[in-house]
Amino acid sequence: MFKWRGSHKDEEEQRKYERKWQETHPDYQAGRKDNYMEKGTLAMVVLTHYGGGKCACTLCGFDEIRALTLGMNSRFNRVTRKTGSLTKLFRVLWESNFPDNYITLCYNCYNMLISRIH
């Protein structure tokens, strides 16, 4: 919450305003939470698909989702370059029925794979 520099009265007024705003806009916060969950769920689905049924690195088995990404069996193609972000790439892959040339990797394995390719 924003800390007002004024008196306690200003803080109370701010709290009342925030409560009133949240009551009149209930779908705003719900939409934000749904968006966050959708991203997390989509990432889980895509990483699990490319992880061979497990949400884990296909090379070393590391399974912390925060450290997982997608790698390719060959050099990066146009789809990867056009999307720009991993979240957009997850959506593109899901909408295009999971093309075969991706694998789930942890960032350590991903960096080792990239250093071998280049």
The whole-number pLDDT of residue 108 equals 92
What percent of the chain has a predicted confidence (pLDDT) above 70? 69
Residue 61: inside a domain: yes
The amino acid present at 43, given as its one-letter code, is A
pLDDT at 70: 86
66 is a domain residue: yes
**3 domain-assigned:** no
Asked if the structure places residue 63 within a domain, the reply is yes
27-52 pLDDT tens trace: 766 655 555 445 568 888 889 999 98
The C-alpha R_g of the chain, in whole angstroms, comes to 21
Measured between alpha carbons, how far is 74 from 117 in angstroms, rounded to an integer?
8
User: What is the model's pLDDT at position 74?
Assistant: 60
* Coarse DSSP helix, strand, coil percentages of the chain, rounded to the nearest 5 percent: 60, 10, 30
* Block residue for tokens 């909408």: 95
At 15, the pLDDT band (50, 70, 90 cuts) reads confident
Mean pLDDT calculated for residue range 9-17: 80
The answer to whether 91 touches 85, Cβ cutoff 8 Å, is no
pLDDT confidence band for 84 (50 / 70 / 90): low
Total count of domains within the chain: 1
Detail the DSSP E strand segments found in 66-109.
68-72, 102-106
- Torsions phi, psi of 113, nearest 5? -65, -45
Higher pLDDT, 94 or 35: 94
Q: Provide the mean pLDDT of the chain.
A: 76
**Domain assignment of residue 51, given as a range:** 9-117
Q: Is 55 a member of any domain?
A: yes
Segment 5-14 mean pLDDT: 67
Give the pLDDT confidence score for residue 30 in this predicted structure: 62
Helix (H) or strand (E) holding 89: helix 86-95
